[in-house]
Structure 1
């Protein structure tokens, strides 16, 4: 027998929203109600509710919250990505409940803590929730921000919902060159009793940044090195810097280092920059572990921690793409993925047209989109005639692609990072994905260390097996791409089901993919998340222009010709060029032969190749 909630949700879904429901929908909605019953049984435990996009996760949440009785109300906190979405959820809950049960609270909707403690349901943003968690982590379980969100007049809010995946990783990075400059400046401006601290930081930065080529592999910061970052000393430095007048900082900076002071750019505050750097160092010291990376001739200090579980709160995460995100595998103690009921959606009316063998990274497309896009769009114009189209590209590429339109139809544009959770394009019947959102090679390391803990130098050297993945960092990177693509596809009208079988209206999707594993992972994720979708091969216009293919040697020499003087590890070069390691490995013999044309070309560019062997060592290019 259906509960009051599922009866009410079914009426809301079919009568108010005019959508079709099925037994599978009802099973999925019941799963949310059952998850709330289990909320108080396991402190610190989160359940991931992963109904597919368009099956009513957020609508079910609104209805369930609206049905809670004023006297026995559990106290609810809902966390969503955007401010306008928070306003909308609160407004809808109140309309469904028939009384002012919910209130949004964020930067544009402020309120006092005592006032919020009387509101049965609060709706806030991911950003506000993360700030509260950070304050809680920094202040030993004392956080006004956290109390403001979680305090309810009868104690604490018992139901916490997070709509869309939250970034639980709190990561920090410090450019050691900047730290060296900062500490050098402070040595000449601070009171005598603080100069010793500044000199110690300067020595610390120099010792980590100025190393020989044989020490350029990423590695863990040892306890002796970390002991230099004493939280009390860093706090004293920050207090002293805050008392120094702003104009003094500008005097410390050489003229050629001063920021661009054109009227269309906001002037840089050196004092603010220095204070921010000291705050970051303080965070690293509080976390208690760190690691060093070397990229493009720069040395960086990194540290990260997980914000998951520090509050002891249990809740429910609404995330349609959880199954294809390896990040959840890093949190087995805190997270349980609830099984997705089968048969809710059917995507047989969606056709995915895939063109293979493309370079789709941000850097490449920023430099080459002006040549490639006209050919691709020339082909797409015929296919998309009369359609309402969403084009998704990298932010830096949008100015190039947005200059093109359809003779008959409408085109909208959006960039990666601004799609998840939005419902702005659900009238579009076509989607073009021009490029993929790659992570850099630092972000996956931050994620793994934050959730699993500090790792030995062998791990940084490449021994990264975890949870069935040969290289967990690679898996996290490809998983991020896969979930981002599925989220992007489900921004257009295929997100909406039109009948009890869960079908969508006909849509056409066009995507460029590279060769190899990333393409396989992305297509597997789409097939898993969107059952019965039709996949067809598509020869994009640019794919036929074989002259665009650049040999590996040419890519390497062009990159190093444009590079600044410095040390570039093999891993950094591969990441910048978007190359497979085997491509560079095939050049190893030529790079080690001083008589080869490649080596002679590099010599003319003032570049030498240093080949190293042994655990933790890595080949690199040195440009004078």
Structure 2
């Protein structure tokens, strides 16, 4: 590991690092022994969690162990060859992990299995190591020990006795919600009278839920459990309703010609997706619990359930494990590890303010990001490289105003485990990704079971909601703080090169507790006030905007579908002249066309003359 860490990855190691890596290896070895003894009747031991500081090689060390294990197993005869399962967050991280394992093993020891690399389970049996995504292990097959064993528990050489989950498990809790608009949209489907008559029972069930929703909305004025102790429908009735809903969606797939929406593949898929999400939410609300929530003018009914895979003795790699409520729910065991990093060269500048959420940032995004671009330019020295993190909804605006040659952008929710920013010596975490006010309650209900209205008003509930909100924000901020140059080790004491990060936190008790969590995670870091005017009133940026880059960034973050250019232009704040120039560049196939093509995006025009509409279509 030391050779990999120093010679290939360009870091520095010392005795403390060697002790840390030894503890990691011992943890993997223990998990193998536990799995070798496991059976369907065994009592599962606590999950083991490795939560070292960031930038100590935890993922690289795990991949090296997998490679060494696969290589060593070749010396044994089947069925005594040990294999493993590595679970990464994204498809790209899966591919990177398999490539690294194979390079380190010196042969093709690992294969990926995901939506972009569809291989059969039989093909997987030829490889000692399988790499899959977080999404795969939260599916139904992973909800039982036998399901996991049947899918990935063995290969042609023996058993896969080591399971490693990299980073906090995504989608371990699944939420479903409905609001008045989503129910009206299903009831207002543009289908024939014959279709509605055929599925009258299903539409009646949606109508009944709408009536119920309106009744609740008229009498409830705060977050409140609606049913938690008595189910409104029996299990058999719910099963029958699900059959009706599935048949409705199945028949919708063959609807055509009645309305233009059903003849355009993208529009049809979007409509089918919405209908199924709404109908699924109704089913899940009946199967579990229902929580009524209000956020501004928006009212919703929400439910949820945990989807934690039933692995027998996995090892979780998660630097922010202390901020993960799912691991707390699993009563996971935090493995004792030495502190090996010193962050005395990391300076964290904190602006304590309000108006940091997505809504406020979108509303003031153009002015705020123009002002931020000016701040970045004024505080840039030769050789500086910036990482700028915003909300997904405002990343394109950031890209529009920030100098492309010195700034890289990212958005909340996409940073865990990334090394893309490791050469950035300066960073700005601009705004925060706040959860819905009902999220802490929904999360607690999903993991611990529904509670009463009286409990929701208790001091215990208030403390739990505060704790979960702090955990959610702290995990995001700590992950982001570990992305720039602060993660690279330059000496045996674990120091990093000088790095400055500018952070916005709410001026509340939640913000103060998040700040405390930051101090605990980054030992020795210098924390200072950031004297900055968030809105920069009266400031005019000297930076030249880049509309084309903003449009490309916006489309990069979009799901497949068809988007009006006028809507994209409005989203990234283009003027009428800039929008006209954009359309001209698309028509004349300038550089932006190649940039979009690499994202699977094409330009199309429907109609002619003044009635023509221009689209960007992402496949």
In 1, the alpha carbon distance for the partners of 2:426 and 2:360 equals 25
In 2, the alpha carbon distance for the partners of 1:492 and 1:379 equals 19
Tell whether the 8 Å contact from 1:176 to 1:205 is kept in structure 2 after alignment.
Answer: yes
User: Is 1:90 aligned with 2:98?
Assistant: yes
User: Is 1:215 aligned with 2:216?
Assistant: no
Return the offset for 1:498: 0.9
Return the offset for 1:267: 5.2
Greater Cα offset, 189-198 or 75-84: 189-198
Tell whether the 8 Å contact from 2:98 to 2:112 is kept in structure 1 after alignment.
Answer: yes
Tell whether the 8 Å contact from 2:202 to 2:248 is kept in structure 1 after alignment.
Answer: no
Return the offset for 1:327: 4.9
Which one of 344, 360, 364 corresponds to residue 368 of structure 1?
364
1:349 and 1:269, CA in 2 relative to 1: closer, same or farther beyond 3 A?
A: closer
User: Is 1:157 aligned with 2:160?
Assistant: yes
Residue-by-residue CA offset, 1:526-553 (whole Å, 9 max, x unaligned): 2111111111222114478599xxxxxx
Return the offset for 1:294: 4.3
Return the offset for 1:197: 5.8
Which one of 126, 140, 148 corresponds to residue 151 of structure 2?
148
In 1, the alpha carbon distance for the partners of 2:503 and 2:357 equals 13
Return the offset for 1:405: 4.0
1:517 and 1:299, CA in 2 relative to 1: closer, same or farther beyond 3 A?
A: closer
Which one of 460, 463, 466 corresponds to residue 465 of structure 1?
460
1:176 and 1:163, CA in 2 relative to 1: closer, same or farther beyond 3 A?
A: same
In 1, the alpha carbon distance for the partners of 2:220 and 2:116 equals 49
Return the offset for 1:153: 3.8
Which residue is equivalent to 1:290?
Answer: 290
User: Is 1:78 aligned with 2:67?
Assistant: no
In 1, the alpha carbon distance for the partners of 2:29 and 2:194 equals 60
Return the offset for 1:499: 0.9
Residue-by-residue CA offset, 1:242-268 (whole Å, 9 max, x unaligned): 2356547966xxxxxx9899x998456
In 2, the alpha carbon distance for the partners of 1:331 and 1:497 equals 33
Which one of 397, 401, 421 corresponds to residue 398 of structure 2?
401
Return the offset for 1:380: 3.8
Return the offset for 1:178: 3.5
Gapped runs of 5+ residues in structure 2? 35-42, 540-619
In 1, the alpha carbon distance for the partners of 2:395 and 2:184 equals 37
1:190 and 1:96, CA in 2 relative to 1: closer, same or farther beyond 3 A?
A: same
Which residue is equivalent to 2:494?
Answer: 502
Which one of 227, 232, 236 corresponds to residue 225 of structure 1?
232
Residue-by-residue CA offset, 1:353-383 (whole Å, 9 max, x unaligned): 2223342111111111333344444344332
Return the offset for 1:439: 1.0
Which residue is equivalent to 2:410?
Answer: 414
1:117 and 1:246, CA in 2 relative to 1: closer, same or farther beyond 3 A?
A: same
1:192 and 1:508, CA in 2 relative to 1: closer, same or farther beyond 3 A?
A: closer
Greater Cα offset, 311-320 or 40-49: 40-49
In 2, the alpha carbon distance for the partners of 1:90 and 1:250 equals 48
Return the offset for 1:26: 1.6
**Count of paired positions:** 517
Which one of 1, 26, 31 corresponds to residue 23 of structure 2?
31
SS at match of 1:346: coil
**TM-score scaled by structure 2?**
0.75
User: Is 1:51 aligned with 2:48?
Assistant: no
User: Is 1:236 aligned with 2:244?
Assistant: yes
Which one of 471, 479, 483 corresponds to residue 491 of structure 1?
483
Which residue is equivalent to 2:207?
Answer: 202
SS at match of 1:435: coil
In 2, the alpha carbon distance for the partners of 1:213 and 1:494 equals 52
In 1, the alpha carbon distance for the partners of 2:66 and 2:448 equals 34
Residue-by-residue CA offset, 1:201-257 (whole Å, 9 max, x unaligned): 532431232346433432232534243861133213422542356547966xxxxxx
In 2, the alpha carbon distance for the partners of 1:260 and 1:245 equals 9
Tell whether the 8 Å contact from 1:177 to 1:209 is kept in structure 2 after alignment.
Answer: no
Greater Cα offset, 184-193 or 196-205: 184-193
In 1, the alpha carbon distance for the partners of 2:12 and 2:297 equals 58
In 1, the alpha carbon distance for the partners of 2:313 and 2:517 equals 28
Tell whether the 8 Å contact from 1:44 to 1:313 is kept in structure 2 after alignment.
Answer: yes
1:153 and 1:486, CA in 2 relative to 1: closer, same or farther beyond 3 A?
A: same
Tell whether the 8 Å contact from 1:350 to 1:494 is kept in structure 2 after alignment.
Answer: yes
Which residue is equivalent to 1:382?
Answer: 378
Tell whether the 8 Å contact from 1:86 to 1:125 is kept in structure 2 after alignment.
Answer: yes
Tell whether the 8 Å contact from 1:291 to 1:303 is kept in structure 2 after alignment.
Answer: yes
SS at match of 1:402: helix
In 2, the alpha carbon distance for the partners of 1:378 and 1:273 equals 41
Residue-by-residue CA offset, 1:83-113 (whole Å, 9 max, x unaligned): 2221221122122222221112212222111
Which residue is equivalent to 1:432?
Answer: 428
User: Is 1:20 aligned with 2:12?
Assistant: yes
Tell whether the 8 Å contact from 1:290 to 1:302 is kept in structure 2 after alignment.
Answer: yes
Which residue is equivalent to 1:315?
Answer: 314
Residue-by-residue CA offset, 1:256-314 (whole Å, 9 max, x unaligned): xx9899x99845654453334333333444x5333333455555332211122x52532
Return the offset for 1:58: 1.0
Which residue is equivalent to 2:559?
Answer: none
**TM-score scaled by structure 1?**
0.74
1:97 and 1:520, CA in 2 relative to 1: closer, same or farther beyond 3 A?
A: same
1:260 and 1:480, CA in 2 relative to 1: closer, same or farther beyond 3 A?
A: farther
SS at match of 2:401: coil
Tell whether the 8 Å contact from 2:290 to 2:301 is kept in structure 1 after alignment.
Answer: yes
Greater Cα offset, 471-480 or 227-236: 227-236
Which residue is equivalent to 1:173?
Answer: 177
Greater Cα offset, 437-446 or 54-63: 437-446
SS at match of 2:344: coil
Residue-by-residue CA offset, 1:6-25 (whole Å, 9 max, x unaligned): xxx22322333332112211
1:318 and 1:250, CA in 2 relative to 1: closer, same or farther beyond 3 A?
A: farther
In 1, the alpha carbon distance for the partners of 2:194 and 2:296 equals 31
Residue-by-residue CA offset, 1:486-541 (whole Å, 9 max, x unaligned): 11111111101111110101111112233122331222122111111111222114
Which residue is equivalent to 1:280?
Answer: 281
In 2, the alpha carbon distance for the partners of 1:495 and 1:208 equals 49
Tell whether the 8 Å contact from 1:358 to 1:543 is kept in structure 2 after alignment.
Answer: no
Which residue is equivalent to 1:540?
Answer: 532
1:21 and 1:135, CA in 2 relative to 1: closer, same or farther beyond 3 A?
A: same
Q: How does 1:470-481 map to 2 (within 5 A)?
A: 470-481=462-473
In 2, the alpha carbon distance for the partners of 1:390 and 1:260 equals 43
